[in-house]
Amino acid sequence: MTFAAQIITLYPDMFPGPLGHSLAGRAREEGIWSLDTIQLRDFATDKHRTVDDTPAGGGAGMVLRADVLEAAINDARGAARGVMPIYYLSPRGKRIDQEMARNLATADGVTLLCGRFEGVDERVLEHFNIQEISLGDFVMTGGELAAQALIDATVRLLPGVLGNADSAVEESFSQGMLEHPQYTKPAVWNDRPIPEVLQSGNHKKIAEWRRDMSDEITKTRRPDLWEAHQKSDPKK
């Protein structure tokens, strides 16, 4: 079954963007996943196609209106099929991670609401039980780029997208750790040789070296991941 991605946005022309290239683009052409953009302004009720208004209680910026959002979300839900969670891309949301992408890849699709301005009317999030998710601890002008990042991370995990299924198993975060260093030809570059163990042909020693390097890199660069790994694996 094709994984379906629905995007509610004020800027549908931003899609597919990077998703139209490389593995994601090829997978879309092959029908492994589909993309449907929903123009929020199509659900405005006035001749100016107004989708926002001033914040209740005062303050800077504009807020996307609840009635317009409701109409757009209902339209998306009407076209949805199977299990398709809905997320709102927001700086205050749960951080997107590899586990989220893996879980999403098992669904039938996803609906992503891309915010703009000062955000959306809170009542919409409550009414539709929409989970907020975030690309990181920074603020962007809208949710479109974050939506593309999540879709890319998810699509590459769909069956048939990666040429080598083992790639998804060995990469960073697949086991809660950062990936070991990678090397290729030439064997010596700028007086820097490939580590001897990788050229030994001894697969057991290579696996041990990669595991040790993964441990060291994770401890040094992401002590939070290392601490979590320690708790989950008492043998460490």
Instruction: Report in angstroms the alpha-carbon separations of 84 from 68, 107, 200.
Output: 21, 6, 48
pTM for the model:
0.86
Side chain identity at residue 230, one-letter code: Q
Distance CA 64, CA 105 (A): 29
Distance CA 18, CA 35 (A): 13
Instruction: Examine the pLDDT at 234 and tell me if it is beyond 60.
Output: no
pLDDT of residue 202: 96
Mean pLDDT (the chain) is 93
* Residue-wise pLDDT tens digits, 151-182: 999 999 999 999 765 555 555 565 788 999 99
Residue % of the chain over a pLDDT of 90: 86
* Residue-wise pLDDT tens digits, 82-132: 999 999 999 999 999 999 999 999 999 999 999 998 999 999 999 999 999
pLDDT of residue 232: 81
What is residue 91's three-state secondary structure? strand
pLDDT of residue 172: 53
Q: Confidence band (pLDDT; 50, 70, 90) for 235?
A: low
What is residue 235's three-state secondary structure? coil
Domains annotated for the chain, with CATH where assigned, are 3-155 (3.40.1280.10), 171-232 (1.10.1270.20)
pLDDT of residue 173: 60
Average of per-residue pLDDT across 211-221: 93
Instruction: Let me know: does 114 contact 8? Beta carbons within 8 Å.
Output: yes
Residue % of the chain over a pLDDT of 70: 94
Cα–Cα–Cα angle for 153, 159, 164, rounded to 5 degrees: 85
Rounded-to-5 percentages of helix, strand, coil across the chain: 40, 20, 40
pLDDT of residue 176: 80
What is residue 61's three-state secondary structure? coil
Task: Identify the burial level of 83 via C-beta atoms within 10 angstroms of its C-beta, where 0-12 means exposed, 13-18 middle and 19 or more buried.
Answer: exposed
The alpha carbon torsion through 147, 153, 157, 158 (nearest 10 deg) reads 20
* Residue-wise pLDDT tens digits, 1-32: 899 999 999 999 999 999 999 999 999 999 99
DSSP run (H or E) holding 202: none
Instruction: Examine the pLDDT at 210 and tell me if it is beyond 90.
Output: yes
Side chain identity at residue 224, one-letter code: D
Average of per-residue pLDDT across 210-223: 93
